[in-house]
Amino acid sequence: MTEQENAYESSARETVELGNRLADADPDAELGEIADGLLAGAIQYWLYANQPCGDPDCEECKPLCTAELRLQAMRNALEEFARSSEYFHTPTDFDAGRA
């Protein structure tokens, strides 16, 4: 990890590299299945890492103190990450303009 790379950047990079290694190790594997497996693992880890501490007065935990609040927070993060991805819009999208 470089001096300027933080845990978020390192984790994202390592996840992409893991996906690439898995795809290289099994050329017959469906890339979508690898991606779904990585996403399922990431969701499990996110939910684990964002459990409330158990103190009902904890201000840090209030935004994530119920399963529904955690799910909404995860949806918000997912949308933000997806929209900021260079792969969100592609030239082959069905709604892409063609001249």
pLDDT at 75 > cutoff 80 = yes
pLDDT at 2 > cutoff 90 = no
pLDDT at 85 > cutoff 80 = yes
Write down the pLDDT at residue 96.
78
pLDDT in tens, 12-41: 999 999 999 999 999 999 999 999 999 999
- Own/partner long-range contacts of 71-74 (Cβ < 8 Å, ≥24 apart): 74/43, 74/46, 74/47, 74/50
pLDDT in tens, 35-55: 999 999 999 999 999 999 999
DSSP track, 54-71: S-TT-TTTGGGSSHHHHH
What average pLDDT does the chain have?
93
Predicted TM-score of the model (pTM): 0.84
